[in-house]
Structure 1
């Protein structure tokens, strides 16, 4: 049986329009926090601007439970599905 989080992950691949970069970072961060937990590893440096932005977005959720992050991810995907 598919969980709402897994279904939202699948649904996120078929949104009516591509979200803006800020929303994409929020999706990424909620997904990582919901599936892995608190951020791990070192922040990318140098000219890896995308990697650093993703790391920072995920790090901003440090301390949020996986369940809360999953619920936020599902809610955001549902909102985006509606256009």
Structure 2
């Protein structure tokens, strides 16, 4: 396992230790970057207008189309680090 992979796995564990729920924008950032790192570009069809949460998640992930997995992993790690500093 590479250092980046290990740091990514650690960030996934660390995010669960936050004492406060991050803002919605931060949650979408984490979701989109995790999905991009784990699965690559968004797939499937965009959720319908009545599924506002699903649509927001899909749109956030779609904005990262073409982003390399390692770039998404590093952004996720950096965001978790920032959240840990501000939410503890």
TM-score tier by shorter-chain length is over 0.9
How many residues of Structure 1 are paired with residues of Structure 2 in the alignment? 83
User: 2:54 matched to 1:38?
Assistant: no
Structure 1 runs, 4 residues or longer, greater than 3 Å off: none
Q: Residues 8-55 of structure 1, C-alpha deviation per residue, up to 9 Å, x if partnerless? A: 011111113211101100010010001111001111103100000000
- Normalising by structure 2, what TM-score? 0.89
Question: What RMSD, in angstroms, separates the aligned Cα atoms of the two structures?
Answer: 1.2
Give ranges in structure 1 of 5+ residues lacking alignment.
Answer: none
Secondary structure of residue in 2 paired with 1:82:
helix
Structure 2: runs of 5 or more not aligned: none
- Normalised TM-score (structure 1): 0.94
What's 1:26 paired with? 29
CA distance in 2, matches of 1:16, 1:30: 21
Q: How far apart in 1 are the matches of 2:82 and 2:49?
A: 35
Q: Does 1:57 align with 2:65?
A: no
